[in-house]
Amino acid sequence: LSAQNLSAQKLTAGKEVPVSSEPIIEIQNLNKWYGQHHVLKDVNMQVLPGQKVVVVGPSGSGKSTLIRCINRLEEFQQGDIVVNGHRLTEARNLPLVRREVGMVFQSFNLFPHMSVLENVTLAPRKLRGLSEADARARAAALLERVGIAEQAAKFPGQLSGGQQQRVAIARALAMQPQVMLFDEPTSALDPEVVGEVLDVMRGLAQEGMTMIVVTHEMGFAREVADRVVFMDRGELLEDLPPAEFFGAPRLERTQNFLSRVL
């Protein structure tokens, strides 16, 4: 983890308190259309350094689109997103933001023709200018941390889904991002390996990483999230601490959703 991220936290009587109350991500009046289809409707959200936000909602509600806008994998037509002080609507900020925001996808998206080690060293060498030796040292430490050091020479196709997803997390972390985005990281996994990926994510959360996680794992949301955000039909409808979100959701649409997933 980056030193900056760790130093943004301090321990006070066993409780993590963000030193900075400046948001690291600020989404302002975000609107996006696919053709005529209005998929994000005036979305506003702030994330403080070290916060973990879990995004839930029915399929098609705009969760993926929202987090893909945060590192500009998707364009948007109105509003603004500021990441660590960089405004995404300014084109020159894009490479910076892409480096600072790590992303993990449902389908892993590893490079199939490269070894695990090469997958994790490629971007730091190309985009951060790390030497081969430094990139390898960093990759080895990260693979160790996600519990996969012994698989470094294998190709993605030789690994289980859970192992591939842990490699994908190590690959994202190798860029030393300030923020990690996860888009349903366990949805494509066999049930017996979901836990090993959630454990890695829990570890990251405990170390103070700022995280936005789209997931249907309500146990993870309850346990790890500082806030649960509920989206439905392109609108961000609730933004509450997990105890309130699960215990006393305000809206009928939220109650209906929860009655279906819990």
Considering only 25, 39, 142, 175, the residue that binds ligand ADP (CB under 6 A) is 39
Residue 34 interacting entry, from Mg ion, ligand ADP, none, C-beta within 5 to 8 Å by type: ligand ADP
Can you tell me which of 64, 71, 164, 178 binds Mg ion, judged by CB under 5 A?
64
Residue 60 touches which member of Mg ion, ligand ADP, none, C-beta under 5-8 Å by kind: ligand ADP
Based on the shown chain and the rule CB under 5 A, indicate whether residue 186 belongs to the binding site for Mg ion: no
Residue 12 binds ligand ADP (CB under 6 A): no
Taking the complex as a whole, the smallest distance from the CB of residue 112 to ligand ADP amounts, in Å, to 23
- How many Å apart are CA 57 and CA 224, to the nearest integer? 17
- Within 90-149, which residues bind Mg ion (CB under 5 A)? none
Question: In 54-208, which ranges are continuous DSSP H helix?
Answer: 63-70, 94-100, 116-127, 132-145, 161-173, 191-206
**How many residues contact ligand ADP, by CB under 6 A?**
11
Binding track over 57-96 against ligand ADP, x by CB under 6 A: x-xxxxxxx-------------------------------
Q: How far is the CB of 184 from Mg ion (least distance, A)?
A: 6
User: Residue 180, interface with ligand ADP (CB under 6 A)?
Assistant: no
CA 191 – CA 220 distance, rounded (Å): 14
Decide if residue 261 touches ligand ADP (CB under 6 A). Answer: no
Q: Which is nearer to Mg ion, 26 or 184 (CB)?
A: 184
Render 7-75 in DSSP notation, one character per residue.
Answer: HTEEEETTEEEES--S-SEEEEEEEEEETTEEEEEEEEEEE-TT-EEEEE--TTSSHHHHHHHHTTSS-
Which strands, in side-by-side order, build the sheet including 210-214?
101-104, 179-183, 210-214, 52-56, 227-232, 235-240
- The overall longest dimension of the chain from CA atoms, in Å, is 55
Q: Which does 61 bind (CB under 5 to 8 A by kind): Mg ion, ligand ADP, none?
A: ligand ADP
Least separation in angstroms between residue 225's CB and ligand ADP is 17
Choose one: 8-16, 22-30, 49-57, 58-66; the region binding Mg ion (CB under 5 A): 58-66
Check: CB of residue 140 under 8 Å from CB of residue 152: yes
Paired residues of 257 in beta bridges: none
Tell me if 124 sits within 8 A of 130, measured CB to CB: yes
Rounded-to-integer distance, Cα 207 and Cα 225, Å? 14
Would you call 37 exposed, middle or buried from its count of C-beta atoms within 10 A (0-12, 13-18, 19+)?
exposed
Complex with ligand ADP: residue 63 or 227, whichever CB lies closer: 63
CB of residue 76 to ligand ADP, shortest distance in Å: 12
Chain residues that interact with ligand ADP, rule: CB under 6 A: 34, 37, 39, 57, 59-65
Residues of this chain that bind Mg ion (CB under 5 A): 64
